[in-house]
Amino acid sequence: MSDDGAAVVAAVEAVAERLERERDHLTELDSAIGDADHGGNMARGWAEAADAARDLDDPEPETVVKAVGKTLMSEVGGASGPLFGGSLVFASAEITDGITAETAVAFAETYLEKVEDRGDARLGDQTMVDALTPAVHTFKKSIESDDIGTLEALAKAVAAAERGVAFTVPIRARKGRASYLGWRSVGHQDPGATSTLFILEEVLATAADELDADVPAVDAASPTIPDDETEADAADEE
């Protein structure tokens, strides 16, 4: 077993435990704007995923992530299966050679791209993309700057996701079941963005644990606005 493979299994277990603890919280968020199944689905799906990860004979980061994605795909159902699970399966191809700062960035970008494509959602639609996009951009930008370590980059990404979750509250849902509420979706925190944040927080905590380090304190107000290059990309897409 590679150390990294074991670390990914540990992260999955941490996520499963966290989502079980947050089950009622997520159900409450979802019952306000959806069909109240997100808490149960995620808790059940990730518990099964943790079992699948533990059952692997020789876990490598890629095989663990792929097994988790496949399990979520078959256990979570609805739109969350393809979004949370399918995207993991596709992104796992980026870490076939293990996890480095560079492959982690590629993994994060592919994951975001798959979620955006599958859900046809973009930043500002009140979906999980609102937590993912700032997290992925911040992670990438931080890794690319020479003076920020990988763990700190991950911490910055989590802080960015947290702000992304807060950003879902005042906006109107344009994708997902909440979008049928129209303006009535305003004022509600998106459950998918919230569970995405929980997942990222547990990945960060596990990474810190594995490195025997404290979770770095980061400036919550650090800029997460995409830099010039990514702004240009966004403009191209429109």
Partner 1 sequence: MKKLINDPDDVVDEMIDGMVAAHPDRFRRLPDTQVLVRDDAPVDDKVALVTGGGSGHEPTHAGYVGDGMLDGAAAGDVFSSPTADEFEALIDACDAGDGVLAVVKNYEGDVMNFDTAIELAEMEGVEVDSVVIDDDVAVEDSLYTSGRRGVCGTILVHKAAGAKAAEGADLAEVKRVAEKVVDNVGTMGMALTSCVTPEKGEPTFDLGDDEIELGIGIHGEPGTERTESMSADAVTDELTEAVLDDLDLDDGQEVLTIVNGMGGTPQMELFVVNRRLQELLGEHGLETWDAWVGDYMTSLDMMGASITVCAVDDELKDLLGAPADTPALTVR
Structure tokens at 208: 């810190």
- In whole angstroms, what is the distance from residue 161 CA to residue 164 CA? 5
Q: Smallest distance from the beta carbon of 78 to partner 1, in angstroms? A: 5
Assess 83 for contact with partner 1 (CB under 8 A).
yes
Structure tokens at 182: 């129209």
- Between the alpha carbon of residue 181 and those of residues 34, 95, 175, 221, 233, the distances in Å are 9, 39, 10, 32, 31
Assess 90 for contact with partner 1 (CB under 8 A).
yes
Q: Smallest distance from the beta carbon of 70 to partner 1, in angstroms? A: 7
Neighbours of 113 (CB within 10 A): 14
Choose between 116 and 162: whose C-beta lies nearer to partner 1.
116
Window of 12-20, 25-33, 81-89, 94-102 that interacts with partner 1 by CB under 8 A: 81-89
Residue from 42, 89, 108, 160 that binds partner 1 (CB under 8 A)? 89
Assess 34 for contact with partner 1 (CB under 8 A).
no
Residue 115's Cβ-side half-sphere holds a number of Cα atoms within 13 Å equal to: 30
Name residues contacting partner 1, limited to 97-126 (CB under 8 A).
Answer: 118-120
Residue from 179, 209, 210, 234 that binds partner 1 (CB under 8 A)? 179
Q: Smallest distance from the beta carbon of 71 to partner 1, in angstroms? A: 9
- Between the alpha carbon of residue 128 and those of residues 55, 66, 85, 120, 205, the distances in Å are 29, 20, 13, 12, 20
Question: Which residues are near partner 1 by CB under 8 A?
Answer: 70, 73-79, 81-83, 85-86, 89-90, 118-120, 175-177, 179-180
